[in-house]
Structure 1
Amino acid sequence: MNAPPSARAAHQRELVPNAGLSSATATDWMDTLWDPDAALLRATPSLAPHTHMVRETIWYAVGLLSRGGADDRTRAVEAVESVLANQFSQPGQVAHGTWRRWPGEPDPGPDAAEWRDYDPNWREFIGTALLLILHEFEDDLPAALVTKIDHALALATAGSRQRGVSAGYTNIALMAAYLYDGVGRRQDRPELCTAGEALATEVHALWARTGTFPEFNSPTYYGVDLYGLALWRGLSASPVLRGTGAEMESRLWEEIADRYHPELRNIAGPYDRSYGMDLQRYASLLGLWIELVTAGAHAPLPSGGPDGAQHAHDWCFAPCFALLAAVPTQEMSKRLTDFAGPRHVSTTVTAAPHRVATSWIGERLLIGAQDTGSAQEAGRFVETWTSQYCPVAVHWKEPGTTGGVHWLRAAPGTPVDARVDEEGVLRLVHRAGQSDDSPLRFEVCAPQTADEHITATRWELPGVTVQVAPAQGTDAVISRSGEVLHIEYVRTDAPGDGETRFVLRFATH
């Protein structure tokens, strides 16, 4: 028998004092997005032109059931019913068991392509949320709805297994393993339990090679990873999932604390995938977890809350995180609120292909770099999400503010490998093509920078001076796009292929 909502809420407050507040804040905001006619959440501006959100509505249902206020149960039931009505049932087809991203999305045809015509990952996102609802609130739901949820979980599990999620697709694999095992135990299907434990074992074995995940240092993916691992550690009945989940979760929190700067409210790069460069300007899932751990202090989230925040729809995930609770050690929690001093961090992400991430965390400066050794295959997400892959990232304290930052990065698509050494010196290798159409390009967000303060060898930026040792035969060309300054190093002699090397030294002021 599940505990009543009041007892569950008290238990979560005991685990994480900010859990109730974090969930309530997100749920109160989602109240403003609720469309009673559609029984779905209206889409946030970043998801336009779509009008409603299916996945986020199931997260809202978790928030409503957690809050347990007047009429919350009734609305939660409506929300779950509406989400279930948007599931694809196409046995043998690629989209079987997943959900529409928005109501009215056409049924995928026989030639449907993932991401374009459907999102295969909605099976895991929505499926695990449905399991969470059943685990915590089944006694609060009508029996007929519970039956429908079990049917939806069977469809989602079948479609996910048909797809065959790779262990290297970490964030989805973590959820899939819990989905298989959870549905298998609930529906007395041993073959699903076996599949869940097998995938969990494969994920752990891949992680154990280097002690980190191949989807490295993503402020969004790490948030999903913590969610999946918390499901393993906290709710799974499988000793395999519980044991390996606790081990990987503890190490992941340590890895996050190693690169996090609580005063700058950002995590040092490099990023395998990032939706933005400043965590105080968009809603990141990692930011929501850190908010839980720190009771809101030094949380890397937009100060104004979800209203107007970039990627605001991810804030809807907060009630699920709050229910599961975050469990870093006291030492790790302290490092998320108090700056632990300057340090150099080096992580071998994968040995084959070669990928090494190095970071410098200074009092007023963060530098992150990734070296792939010019590997042709540097990981699934390095290739797939080129526009969001960030092998070089630098943040520094914005003058005259308590927590604001300026930043620069290697522009998306720039072929570059880099390392930052123990003195905080950034060393880059630019791998040019067969022509001069792939210069070394930087993007700099430091408003009020005057063009005359940028030369090929020195950048005078607000809060930091950068000394550049450029390759011979190159010159800097400057352009602007909104608040972003673009600096390109172009060849002044005959173009050629091969490597050119640059060294950047930073002095904050």
Structure 2
Amino acid sequence: MSQSIRNRMAEEQRYLVDHAMEYMDQLFDEDARMLRDAEQLDRHNTRGSGHYAVGLLLRNEPGDWERAAVVLNKVIDMQLNDADEIYFGTFRASPQASPPPKGKVPWQTLGAGSAYRYGEDVLPPVWRSYDPNWREFVACTFAVILENFESVLPAGLVARMDDSMVMAVTGSIDRRLTEAVPMNSNIELMHIFIAHYFGQRFGNKDWLEHAKQESYKFHAAFMEFGSLAEFNTTTYYGVDITVLGLWRCYAKCDELKRIGHDVEKGLWESIALFYNPVLQNLSGPFARAYEMEMLAHSSMGVFLYLLLGKGFEHLAAINCESEHDPIIALVGIDIPEYVKPSLAIPQGERLAVKKFRELCEQDLLGENSNLCTAKAWIEKDVMLGGMSGSKNTNGQMHPATIHWITKEGQKYYLRLLRREVGGHWNTHERGIIFEADVKRKQLSVEVYLDTAAPVEIYFEISGGPLDAQLLSQEHWSLPGLALAVDSQAPLASIHSNEELVEVIYIYQPGETPNRMSFTLTIID
């Protein structure tokens, strides 16, 4: 079976499998029967190990099926099976991760967002003691394996996988119905798929009905503006497109396939609107982002490689998301024909505008979805992005960004961030609102501050060699880009190393104004 699947693949799909497996083979720990974590080699990776099993079954070289069975049994060993707990059915991220503590209250009665509102006082702390999303990730992986390779797996392992999925889907549905830990867009898509797929597999009519109703709600929300709550996010768009591929290939009813097709088509339309083929990147702003570079923490480049083909292998370069590539190779791509030119050929100067409703994970239901507007000015060698309307507390929200490329081909990035003094930007912080806008060659931002602790509002510039001495309070001379800076803010301090500069403005509660504004204008 594996060879017949592989033989039906295009050359680019086979390349993805071989490339990813070469990478994951190097991380496999024979003694632990799992993949090592690429960023922490003394730890092992549960989700990645499941993806590795997909690649082993698909590759089907001597010993691969046997190794896949061993790995899958180990992944199942990581599942948390206490039915009374908020984390029921999810998986420990690593065997080195301590089991989460027991909850102190009946969490299902506490209402939406309870895992955040009550936190360590009465519940196991979400993300720090357990990852609720591993239910959905592992369940999607198991669905792919059972759909394509069940006949070559030991019967005992299949039975263990089925038992595991009963717990995973049960826990996932409890999570969705209580909203104790809200689901971002990519997790919603996975949740709907696994409730549908395993509902069909187990003949569970309640699960099937739940999946149908959730798919209708998701579709209606998407079609309002043709956008997702995790807007313009290369990391999560990669997951979204992968899972929509699961809907397309493995859904058991035409209605779910139709809804998935609408969302997949609309998502590619949105991607094309903000994509620049010269910079090979999506413009900001980003509702959620880790990196400014699309190829650093995302599968997006993999999909574009499948579209563009030979000569674009660099778009599928190994990164922390590459473990997904065997699944991506299985489901392929479905990009509308009229969208494809925008992903391959520069479309000229333009202003891109899109509305979306965000998800504020830590706010109450009814108060956690705000109407936002994303704008981007896109030229051949520079992109400016600005977001308005957001009240998100998540530091992954990037409201103001600039991407550009020099004549020599070096890419640079600028993003506006915030952090408590001495802290890190990737945290939840209340009392900071950004209102950003763009027009031709200009990015403007208003910052509103109401925090108890001192906060740094700062522009981070990165990508290549930088000389901080060429930045003044009113003019930033950067490689390939000159900016005039008009700021209504405390005097900036400039910190740098060879490839990163921070221009920092400090807000001191009660001492400095609680509003800052910045206008960055490109000087031709």
- Normalised TM-score (structure 2): 0.85
1:485 aligns with 2:501: yes
Code of the aligned partner of 1:7: S
In angstroms, what is the RMSD of aligned CA positions? 2.5
- Cα deviations across residues 345-371 of structure 1 (Å, max 9, x unaligned)? 001112962310001111110111111
Q: Does the Cα contact within 8 Å between 1:290 and 1:299 map onto a contact in 2? A: no
Q: Which residue of 2 aligns with 1:62?
A: 54
1:36 is displaced (CA, Å) by: 1.4
Q: Does the Cα contact within 8 Å between 1:153 and 1:183 map onto a contact in 2? A: yes
Change (3 A) 1:341 1:106: same
Q: Which residue of 1 aligns with 2:116?
A: none
1:496 is displaced (CA, Å) by: 5.1
Pairs within 5 Å for 1:180-199: 180-199=195-214
Q: Which residue of 2 aligns with 1:155?
A: 167
- Name the SS for the 2:519 alignment partner: strand
Q: Which residue of 2 aligns with 1:405?
A: 411
1:236 is displaced (CA, Å) by: 0.2
Code of the aligned partner of 2:337: Q
- Normalised TM-score (structure 1): 0.87
Q: Does the Cα contact within 8 Å between 1:407 and 1:445 map onto a contact in 2? A: yes
Q: Does the Cα contact within 8 Å between 1:168 and 1:214 map onto a contact in 2? A: no
Q: 2:149 aligns with which of 122, 125, 137?
A: 137
Code of the aligned partner of 1:138: E
Change (3 A) 1:462 1:58: same
Q: Number of aligned residue pairs: give it.
A: 478
- Name the SS for the 1:410 alignment partner: strand
1:297 is displaced (CA, Å) by: 4.7
Separation in 2, partners of 1:145, 1:227 = 25
Change (3 A) 1:369 1:83: same
- Cα deviations across residues 395-427 of structure 1 (Å, max 9, x unaligned)? 1103422xx311111123474321112x23212
Change (3 A) 1:498 1:436: same
Separation in 2, partners of 1:450, 1:58 = 45
Residues 69-78 or 58-67, more deviating: 69-78
Q: Which residue of 2 aligns with 1:272?
A: 287
Pairs within 5 Å for 1:147-226: 147-164=159-176, 169-226=184-241
Code of the aligned partner of 2:474: T
Separation in 1, partners of 2:258, 2:213 = 14
Q: Does the Cα contact within 8 Å between 1:434 and 1:497 map onto a contact in 2? A: no
Change (3 A) 1:489 1:159: closer
- Name the SS for the 2:89 alignment partner: coil
Q: Does the Cα contact within 8 Å between 2:133 and 2:187 map onto a contact in 1? A: yes
1:441 aligns with 2:441: no
1:93 is displaced (CA, Å) by: 1.2
1:231 aligns with 2:246: yes
Residues 475-484 or 89-98, more deviating: 475-484
Q: Does the Cα contact within 8 Å between 2:466 and 2:499 map onto a contact in 1? A: no
Q: Does the Cα contact within 8 Å between 1:435 and 1:496 map onto a contact in 2? A: no
Pairs within 5 Å for 1:306-321: 306=318, 312-321=319-328
1:368 aligns with 2:385: yes
Residues 200-209 or 104-113, more deviating: 104-113
Code of the aligned partner of 1:11: R
Separation in 1, partners of 2:7, 2:464 = 46
Q: Which runs of 5+ in 1 are unaligned?
A: 307-311
Residues 495-504 or 210-219, more deviating: 495-504
- Cα deviations across residues 184-241 of structure 1 (Å, max 9, x unaligned)? 1111111111111111112112212221011111111111111221111221012332
Q: Does the Cα contact within 8 Å between 1:434 and 1:496 map onto a contact in 2? A: no
1:5 aligns with 2:23: no
- Name the SS for the 1:356 alignment partner: strand
1:419 aligns with 2:434: no
Separation in 2, partners of 1:208, 1:52 = 40
Change (3 A) 1:338 1:51: same
Change (3 A) 1:24 1:448: closer
